[in-house]
Structure 1
Amino acid sequence: MSQDIALVALAAVGVVLALFGLAFFIRPRWFFSWLKGTLALFLIGAGAYVALLALDLRHYQSLDSMQTIATIGVSKTGPQAWRVRLERTEQPPLEVVIRGDQWQVDARIIRLAGPLNWLGVKPAYRLERLSGRYVSLEQERSGQRTVHPLGEESWFDTWVLDQSFGLPFVEAVYGNATFMPLRDGAIFDVRLSSTGLVALPGNEQAREAMEEWFPQAG
């Protein structure tokens, strides 16, 4: 089942549950017991919740397995200043300025659990932000920080609500790639699994930067 069909099925379940609950109010004779009224309210709430969940997941991309979700290209524009080009699947490229010595991408990951998992909705992700970092602790504290948001705002934010209150049948996970070195001409591949992000070198400049940086960092 494709992700689009699975999301439509998820939304349909929510609508059916909500309509079934509303039927109790349309037929007053069904209100002879407190149990039926309670059931009606439960169905309306459950249906609305599932439908809103499906609506919010439209802002996320489906995740099959470990896959490349973005490419990072770096070009130097000045001392500790870099132009970073972010290319994402099914979205226009984004160019931003990053200050510092390293870059990092953060992402949100949502997995459905329990009965909702039976609908076949795959884990979904959304890139959250792209940021820079200085190696020097003094610069990190006092230097110009650069953080660029990448996600779209949603009035019903499943990820935030689950982090704050623990929504039923939802698992919200925060993933980030290890800070990677900024190097003129370097290209990195950002890959994602259902557990987190990893950045890998995409060309020789990126490989050389990583070989120089990580032994030095250790």
Structure 2
Amino acid sequence: MAAMGKANKAKVSLGRRLLHLWRLWPLVLVLLVLGSLIAPFYVYSRFNSEQPIARLEFEALGDAWYLASVTRFPECSLQNYRIRGDQWQLDAEFLKWKGVAVLLGAESRVALDRLSGRFSTIDAAQRAKPSMHDLKPETWFAFGVSIAEGADSFLVDTHFGASAYMTIDPAKSYWVYKTEDALIARSHPRNQTELDGGTMTLVIDQSCADSQPDLLEGYARQWNQWLLALKQMLRSLL
């Protein structure tokens, strides 16, 4: 009898645990939906004051062609592109909030949009074929188009583009920074060295270590990648 009583108590205890877990499913569902909605938003990087958004370095290929190595921040991903011209131009999308969104702590965002080559003279630009590359991050739905467009939005203040360009010099490394409402660019010598007591020291760049996304942004970016993979899998099945 005692054994049967213990077995019944164990069953009741297990049933209560399952009931408690079942009650958590609505919360889990809400978190999944919320994560799916904010994931495209967080592929845009935060901006306040000056923060690096990209680094560009170039190798000459001949006939005004260059191989551009673009490092994105905070992802610290590196990709190469061929562009033509004597200048480079980087475009980005900005998204600024207002009203309730600002009160809730939403920060303005920016995302790389396009890399292109340009010529300093109009005549050369008119003769040359444009060289452009899409840098826009892929999201599982078009966040900017579906929410940001339109002047009557009660959440979005403005959705606009900004650009920065400089003359190409393979001996230089170009840094592009995001400010509150624009892009700025600075150039530095590549492979910087410092002379200390007669000893030549190579300066190691630690920018990637300093630009890691916070916990929520990292989760949102990863969730966006999972959703993209799921979307691609469903497309292949259908």
State the TM bucket, normalised to the shorter chain: 0.5 to 0.7
State the secondary structure of the residue aligned to 1:165: coil
Match of 1:57 in 2: 41
* Structure 1 segments unaligned to the other structure (5+ residues): 1-11, 17-47, 206-218
Distance in 1 of aligned mates of 2:109 and 2:38 = 11
Amino acid at match of 1:194: E
Superposition deviation, residue 129 in structure 1: 0.6
Provide Cα deviations, 1:83-135, integer angstroms capped at 9, x if missing partner.
11111121420111110110011111112210111221221110001111123
State whether structure 2 residue 71 is matched by structure 1 residue 87: yes
Superposition deviation, residue 61 in structure 1: 1.4
**8 A contact 2:171–2:190 mirrored in 1:** no
Q: Which moved more, 1:53-62 or 1:102-111?
A: 53-62
* TM-score, normalised via structure 1 length: 0.64
State whether structure 2 residue 173 is matched by structure 1 residue 187: yes
Identity of aligned residues (%): 25
**8 A contact 1:175–1:197 mirrored in 2:** yes
Amino acid at match of 2:69: R
Larger radius of gyration: 2
Superposition deviation, residue 163 in structure 1: 6.3
* Equivalent in 136, 155, 162 of residue 175 of structure 1: 162
Distance in 2 of aligned mates of 1:138 and 1:83 = 23
Distance in 2 of aligned mates of 1:105 and 1:203 = 20
* Equivalent in 107, 129, 140 of residue 122 of structure 1: 107
State the secondary structure of the residue aligned to 1:202: strand
Match of 1:71 in 2: 55
Question: Could you say which structure has the higher helix fraction?
Answer: 1
Match of 2:187 in 1: 201
Amino acid at match of 2:100: P
Distance in 2 of aligned mates of 1:204 and 1:187 = 5
Amino acid at match of 1:61: S
Q: CA RMSD in A?
A: 2.7
* Structure 2 segments unaligned to the other structure (5+ residues): 1-26, 192-238
* TM-score, normalised via structure 2 length: 0.59
* Equivalent in 89, 109, 122 of residue 137 of structure 1: 122
